[in-house]
Structure 1
Amino acid sequence: MEQAWPSARLVDVATITDTNVGLATAVYSHTVPADPVYDKCTTTTYAAPNTAKNLVGLIARVETDSVACNHFTEGSPPSVPAAVNTLTAPASVTRPAQVISDTLTFFDDQTNFATTFPQATTPSKGDVTMVRQAVDATTYQTKNRAAFDSYGRPVTVWDANDHTTTTAYTMAAGLTVGTTVTNALRPRLIWVAGRVRCSVDGCDRCR
């Protein structure tokens, strides 16, 4: 028995304007005519803007669900929505069954790594200090954390298992001329002028 495939797949986007910047908040991927089997809605939440430092549009959360975005109506012809810029998050989502992915991003909190979302403080630099992903209906797992220096360079990075990678920078005349990367799972690498100069083993020997 042959399967009847939808005639087309479209993507509708809703945007909201904040401080004269158009930011996409909902994206609805669907077939024509719309078939719930193929529905996918991606909603994006942004960190509070810091207009004094021109920090606007930092993505704080992206969630994709296998349901339709809310406030969508097919127009005539059905390939054209009845209205534009009306999409919002799905009216209802069964968690975790209908959640394809849900990722939280935290900024400029390399001291406390607070997991409360949304963040209580406004970003000051835009450094991504922590990323968390949903693992079930109510639980999020930290995928990575990072600490940065005053130049915005990562100096310490923790993975999901809390393994640490540290990076030390060698400066000359105000320029970065070398880095030393240390990871407990791999040899320490010393980079000079964009090349690996040597690999330092567990006995502190440069090879």
Structure 2
Amino acid sequence: MLGPIIEPVAVGIHALKKFEEKDRRLVIIGLGGTGSLAYETARILGFNDVVAVEKNERKLELARMIGIRAFPSIREALSNKAINVLDTVGDNKSIGEIESALDLIPSKSEIVITGLGNEVLSFHRDSLIRRELTIKGSIIYNPTDFIEASEIVYANQQYYLKYITKVVKLSDPDILPSLLLDENNLKIIIIIQ
């Protein structure tokens, strides 16, 4: 049943490997498929202080219900020491969230951005330079990340199962849109009959 989450876990693994130091607070922006699973994966990989930021109130509530330390804004998630920021949304809104807090993000922090889009992303140059922030991009995964994701999920099934909030046997494709728009779930496994 956990097979469908291997790919987003691999995306998270690839992005998490971009950070130079695991002993910093890790702030994950976005608790969709990649972000929520990256939260669990980061803890398994040895990041010991992991928090998340989620703007959607329902997702925030669901995340907290399963034990994710989550906040509605990056400002609340910051630490006074250098941090790692993983943006799993990668659009103008999430970049805007980071940009709005650039003056508060501690010096020497690292930011990794995932997600694809057509938007032009911009940051205030002086804040980046004066604070010596590092920004990196992360594109999906490579074959070794996928294999590692399979092994991690298999060895830690009990931790990943809580992210699957619904399993549906799909015999009527007309109900698919309502399933996908249902904000009461983190991950839905759809079994096609």
Q: Which bin holds the TM-score, normalised by the shorter protein? A: under 0.3
**TM-score computed with the length of structure 1 as normaliser:** 0.23
**Structure with the greater relative contact order (CA < 8 A, sep ≥ 6): 1 or 2?**
2
**TM-score computed with the length of structure 2 as normaliser:** 0.24
Larger of the two Rg values belongs to structure: 1
* Structure richer in strand, relative to its length: 1
